Structure 1
């Protein structure tokens, strides 16, 4: 029977809810440095089932082994490489950051000299010499000639505007060149960029400290050391400079600090030194010559070898043309018109004079300062050239070829203002031995005028009589002293003028003994002979030593009427930034030594030396009057001629540096000829000036009987001399 009721619906049994699937736990990862030094394991691919695996041959297994080994090595290399690179980058970044902090300010970088410059001006306000670290003032990228900037970049660093301070390509190229030429990888070409060269110039930020015990030369040598460690230190410093400064600022530091020879530091100073113009005004040929100095400043300095500097400049011009900095027309014009030196740079005159002035000026204002100093001096370049030409002429025409004899010349005015100074043959460079100021030599008969000056001031006259005869003077501890004349003959009674003109030794010693050696010594010292004068009777014959500039200054005192002078060359000293003189001098006149009438008589007597006596070869043409005195020492080791006109006093010394005797030379020979040739050139175009001397034709009054000078018992000689001098003044 069918079920007539309602059918129950089918209901499925309840299933328990499915458990939630947990997300797979992430693998724990270590920190950055743990991951950096941990090599990750490569996930292995699931093994193929036995049915899908293909049977491997022996060769296949070998190939698979080598492939796996190669992959392992490459993975190992890559893992090490990128980790080392990261570490190196971090170290470099730290080094750059540290270097950044040590970089001085731009103002300090532009002028990092350890001493200032000294510029010498002559009496006509023209520059003729430089000393110290010559510096023309700071320049910037915008205040120099574009040709100069282009020449520097083309020569030193063609990729300057594209690199970040270091050029890997340049370093690789330099290493390749060095190895090809048989040098070490870092010897020779360094591949340094301009920024790296600036890093060297500023010594990686380490300033020079005098307290370090190093000299400036040692400090700069240390800054230029090309060791591997030094190169590594340059890299972060150069990159830090690129980070801190613009390319233009870095180039400005280079333009201001690079050494360019002849004492010039910076391109402004070099431009003034070589071309007498600002760095803003240089032409392409001049810019190329200046840029060419960077590779070897002293070797390529145009003052040392102009032709060599011009060859180097041609190379720089070619580089500028190849890199597009010069058009073909500019290049051709620059090659056809090479740079030449200015007159002052070409002549190199006055270095001996400049050295002498530097030695007299205060060191704290010249050698020991970082200020730029200007010295205005008494130097005359025309007179200097005259003296140099005269010396060269005589040695070329009158001295045997190959002779090592030396000579020196000093020309000064009557007030002691030195106008020219030749320190020796072939001594144009600065710092050489100056025989005019440093050589202490016996003066010989050139000392005799001081004996006669003392006698004239004590009452003798130019025509007073003295006996020229053999002498025998007992010198305690030395025996008997008997002077002989040069000709070994004696003339008996002669007047003072004849005795001086013929340079008679016996008569002069007799006169000296008559008036007293102390008196002679005092007069010589007051005229400026500051050397240690001899005590014995040979004092009168010039056995004492002196310098040429000292003797010439003493003769200037005779010319100016008997007033002593101090030879001087400095007129004023000022700072370049402030023209107000810190030191000034208007003349060298000192105290009166002898009466003016005595000086006028002595000038007449010395005029007769030239007219009729031992100085005949010093006579000047056109009737120009001159006076002077010859001097020859024992064995002719020194020969002198010192004399004057109404305008100038000139002293000449000749001899050997090692005291070798001169062969056939006396003061009346070659020195007198050098003196004559000098004075002819010095007076060219000048009117004839009379000598300040007596007129012997009208001065014929009877000569008073000279009173021999001999100090009474217990009376000081100097006191008696002063009393006699006072009496002579009152008597006249």
Structure 2
């Protein structure tokens, strides 16, 4: 018994498509068999053509490199295998009997043709045409491409970024997902793909002649290409081996390879490989990757509505990708559901239910612009912790989306109002929790224009901010806040520092000198304790930048970053020896933890008395000194900083649970127009902290008023039942628009949650958008507001995302994020 030749082992990105297992055994040849007929000779001819093609392709592929050479051997192997299959089919007894019957039927025609010249000419023409078709088929088979199929660029593994509350808000890289096995393919996804792409998939053998005829008829009736006739097997062959060119040669190659593939693999395996290869938009290939990208789940967990949406994407993934065109994707999913009903895959009631509750994108595929600076920082941290692993990962971060939106809005508003007039091009803000967790980060005015992070990468002179280390070193050396100093002209060698404004106050206390940022006293203290002691104090609080041993260091002549300075102030505010800023709490890969930050509180400071004195000085800055513009409703402290010619302006301050640093300046180090740390930076700090306090108070109240677990029946019996309040009804229908935050359902006004509505043009645009469209509204909390949905989407979010209104005081983090996205994209009311 002899084995059929097995295709050579392929290499490269598509080797698994040809890994078909051991070849099937052939039946032994009969002794004394008659000479092979024309079918067997055709098979032999095809094998010879394939061998010659292999001989031609082999050297050419060798010149293209190892991978191309392997692909050439693969293509030649496919050709030889296909030719062998044709030969075996032709040599089958039934085929020989059919050939003998055809020959017998042909003999009378041949005798007639010998007597009738025109019939003889017609037979010769048919024979020549058949020979040409056969020759073209052999040519198409012999010229299979050595490097065909999809070419997928290597990409970094995907990183899904979640905020501190678990909400996914950003992704980086391309989600790769897992290769599905036939048993892992959910039935609803398989049924959806077959229903919309190839209804006769389980009936044809690779090429569907009936489907081709139907597509040709419909395209002719439509006057253009409206429907394709390719089967799923043909699409898989095209994606795996061939180019996307619309040529006759490619079609012939596609048909031959499809017939061969169907003879080697079961239908379920072909369908699975198709799902693992297909492109679903947003840079993802394969059904599992698409399920994770759009819905945040594995393919095996897809619902009917989600499976229908994915099945609808393969025809036009770039146009219908739901993160960009959710309405289009839902419309296509509805067509898929209708097709599934027509084919009997699902009941009509199930299809209608899936239409009423369409799939919603749950994992963002594009990072909100303002959070990119933070995501860059987190991505670098993840690479440092786990390396560039091959698997997709999810990172749980410290970012508070509410505070992030507040920070972006505050910085943008102040720069929009004052930036051009006062020659300020850039600003940065970072907010830390007392333990160093990064709660918000604004690395610049516009990430789209500049990805340079001015929180972590910009090294600037801190000016008077650096006096923190001078005064703390002095307090460690025995000075007290009430110690007497003299503000007078001071000279160190040839250097003679001056105060801001050029005047001297005479006798002052250490507290007053720090509060009013007197330069001469800072230099005197630095000379008293020694610059090395100042450097040691700065190092202990986390300053890692280069600090030269020069007298001018006392006034902040060294360059450092906003994050380094803010962590130093955080350590003083928390009474900790040092505080380490961090943005990553946990890293997971397929629900398996790769890294978890250990819970550890910062170690208490060893110099408690000096730290207490330093807090006294920092509070005096806000209470009576240069930082009065930063006063808020809770106890606070901080320090201003301004460099020569107003090239940099800083304010770093703290409350009991927040440490916030602000910087303003220009990337080219150009001077601003008289901006000091106690001016705009202190005002930005105050605006941010005031809103952050309100947001946190509201969040804490919501947690306190959250529904509690129901008491046990025996305990509930002893509780006096409260008088029930009438429940507000849910509403549904086609509303009128009062303003972009208020709808009218037959005389009943409905206030949308989280939206301060606008009238005029914006209201008219919303009215046109909602015309004859069904809106469903449900009560949302005790404020009398409603949360309304349109085609499964939150209407408040749609309005804010398109710049049709402003976020109200009851806006949730997702609504604030939608408003910020509109502002970043400069659309609607944010257009400028």
Tell me the matched-pair count.
591
Deviation, structure 1 residue 94: 8.5
* Distance (Å, rounded) in 1 between the aligned partners of 2:44 and 2:436: 87
* Distance (Å, rounded) in 2 between the aligned partners of 1:153 and 1:498: 80
Q: Which residue of 2 aligns with 1:616?
A: 628
Tell whether the 8 Å contact from 2:113 to 2:120 is kept in structure 1 after alignment: no
The more displaced of 678-687 and 600-609 is: 678-687
Q: Which residue of 2 aligns with 1:515?
A: 529
The 1:383/1:271 distance shift into structure 2, 3 A limit, reads farther
Q: Which residue of 1 aligns with 2:477?
A: 458
Deviation, structure 1 residue 410: 2.0
Q: Which residue of 1 aligns with 2:334?
A: 317
The 1:385/1:314 distance shift into structure 2, 3 A limit, reads same
Tell whether the 8 Å contact from 1:122 to 1:378 is kept in structure 2 after alignment: yes
Structure 1 residue 586 and structure 2 residue 603: aligned?
A: no
The 1:235/1:612 distance shift into structure 2, 3 A limit, reads farther
Q: Which residue of 1 aligns with 2:265?
A: 245
Q: Which residue of 2 aligns with 1:605?
A: 617
Tell whether the 8 Å contact from 1:555 to 1:643 is kept in structure 2 after alignment: yes
Deviation, structure 1 residue 519: 2.4
Q: Which residue of 1 aligns with 2:559?
A: 545
The structure 2 residue matched to 1:669, chosen from 669, 679, 687, is 679
SS of alignment partner, residue 694 of structure 2:
coil
Q: What does 1:217-232 correspond to in 2, within 5 Å?
A: none
The 1:36/1:119 distance shift into structure 2, 3 A limit, reads closer
Q: Which residue of 2 aligns with 1:436?
A: 455
The 1:407/1:258 distance shift into structure 2, 3 A limit, reads farther
* Distance (Å, rounded) in 2 between the aligned partners of 1:511 and 1:232: 88
* Distance (Å, rounded) in 2 between the aligned partners of 1:34 and 1:372: 48
The structure 2 residue matched to 1:418, chosen from 438, 442, 453, is 438
Tell whether the 8 Å contact from 2:434 to 2:659 is kept in structure 1 after alignment: yes
* Distance (Å, rounded) in 2 between the aligned partners of 1:278 and 1:564: 42
Task: Note the aligned Cα RMSD (angstroms).
Answer: 5.1
CA offsets 1:365-398 (integer angstroms, 9 cap, x no match): 342x223444444344444344344445545666
* Distance (Å, rounded) in 2 between the aligned partners of 1:467 and 1:619: 28
* Distance (Å, rounded) in 1 between the aligned partners of 2:396 and 2:534: 37
Tell whether the 8 Å contact from 1:562 to 1:599 is kept in structure 2 after alignment: no
The 1:338/1:83 distance shift into structure 2, 3 A limit, reads same
* Distance (Å, rounded) in 2 between the aligned partners of 1:548 and 1:181: 65
The 1:247/1:364 distance shift into structure 2, 3 A limit, reads farther
The 1:544/1:262 distance shift into structure 2, 3 A limit, reads farther
The more displaced of 115-124 and 324-333 is: 324-333
Q: Which residue of 2 aligns with 1:567?
A: 581
Deviation, structure 1 residue 641: 2.0
Deviation, structure 1 residue 595: 1.4
The 1:379/1:261 distance shift into structure 2, 3 A limit, reads farther
TM-score, structure 1 normalization: 0.66
Deviation, structure 1 residue 656: 3.7
SS of alignment partner, residue 578 of structure 2:
strand
Deviation, structure 1 residue 625: 0.8
The structure 2 residue matched to 1:555, chosen from 543, 559, 569, is 569
Deviation, structure 1 residue 599: 1.4
Tell whether the 8 Å contact from 2:650 to 2:677 is kept in structure 1 after alignment: yes
* Distance (Å, rounded) in 1 between the aligned partners of 2:662 and 2:417: 18
SS of alignment partner, residue 441 of structure 1:
coil
* Distance (Å, rounded) in 2 between the aligned partners of 1:378 and 1:76: 81
SS of alignment partner, residue 546 of structure 1:
coil
* Distance (Å, rounded) in 1 between the aligned partners of 2:43 and 2:279: 52
Structure scoring higher RCO (CA < 8 A, sep ≥ 6) equals: 1
SS of alignment partner, residue 129 of structure 2:
helix
Tell whether the 8 Å contact from 1:566 to 1:590 is kept in structure 2 after alignment: no
CA offsets 1:266-320 (integer angstroms, 9 cap, x no match): 44444444344554565665445444554665665444x3xx3323432453465
The structure 2 residue matched to 1:407, chosen from 427, 439, 443, is 427
SS of alignment partner, residue 683 of structure 1:
helix
* Distance (Å, rounded) in 2 between the aligned partners of 1:32 and 1:245: 27
The 1:227/1:633 distance shift into structure 2, 3 A limit, reads farther
SS of alignment partner, residue 502 of structure 2:
coil
Q: Which residue of 1 aligns with 2:753?
A: none
* Distance (Å, rounded) in 1 between the aligned partners of 2:316 and 2:445: 28
Q: Which residue of 2 aligns with 1:536?
A: 550
Tell whether the 8 Å contact from 1:155 to 1:316 is kept in structure 2 after alignment: no
CA offsets 1:83-106 (integer angstroms, 9 cap, x no match): 34445656778999x99xx999xx
Structure 1 residue 499 and structure 2 residue 513: aligned?
A: yes
Tell whether the 8 Å contact from 1:289 to 1:309 is kept in structure 2 after alignment: no
SS of alignment partner, residue 564 of structure 1:
coil
The more displaced of 448-457 and 411-420 is: 411-420
Structure 1 residue 485 and structure 2 residue 505: aligned?
A: no
The 1:411/1:153 distance shift into structure 2, 3 A limit, reads farther
Q: What does 1:62-73 correspond to in 2, within 5 Å?
A: 68=118, 72=121
CA offsets 1:532-553 (integer angstroms, 9 cap, x no match): 2344333233333322222221
Mark the runs of 5 or more structure 2 residues left unpaired by the alignment.
1-36, 47-106, 699-832
The 1:36/1:676 distance shift into structure 2, 3 A limit, reads closer
Tell whether the 8 Å contact from 2:464 to 2:555 is kept in structure 1 after alignment: yes
* Distance (Å, rounded) in 2 between the aligned partners of 1:235 and 1:647: 69
Q: Which residue of 2 aligns with 1:365?
A: 386
The 1:160/1:33 distance shift into structure 2, 3 A limit, reads closer
* Distance (Å, rounded) in 2 between the aligned partners of 1:675 and 1:117: 35
The more displaced of 502-511 and 326-335 is: 326-335
The 1:322/1:124 distance shift into structure 2, 3 A limit, reads closer
Q: What does 1:88-127 correspond to in 2, within 5 Å?
A: 116-127=157-168
* Distance (Å, rounded) in 1 between the aligned partners of 2:113 and 2:293: 79
Deviation, structure 1 residue 563: 0.8
Q: What does 1:66-465 correspond to in 2, within 5 Å?
A: 68=118, 72=121, 74-86=122-134, 116-135=157-176, 137-139=178-180, 148-149=189-190, 152-153=193-194, 160=201, 164-165=205-206, 194-195=232-233, 197-199=235-237, 204=241, 238-260=258-280, 265-276=285-296, 279=299, 286-287=306-307, 289-291=309-311, 293-294=313-314, 300-303=320-323, 305=324, 308-318=325-335, 320-321=337-338, 324=342, 339-342=359-362, 348=368, 351-362=372-383, 365-367=386-388, 369-392=389-412, 394-395=414-415, 405-427=425-447, 432-465=451-484
Deviation, structure 1 residue 576: 3.0
Q: Which residue of 1 aligns with 2:811?
A: none
Q: Which protein has the larger Cα radius of gyration, Structure 1 or Structure 2? A: 1
TM-score, structure 2 normalization: 0.59
Tell whether the 8 Å contact from 2:462 to 2:641 is kept in structure 1 after alignment: yes
* Distance (Å, rounded) in 2 between the aligned partners of 1:259 and 1:252: 14
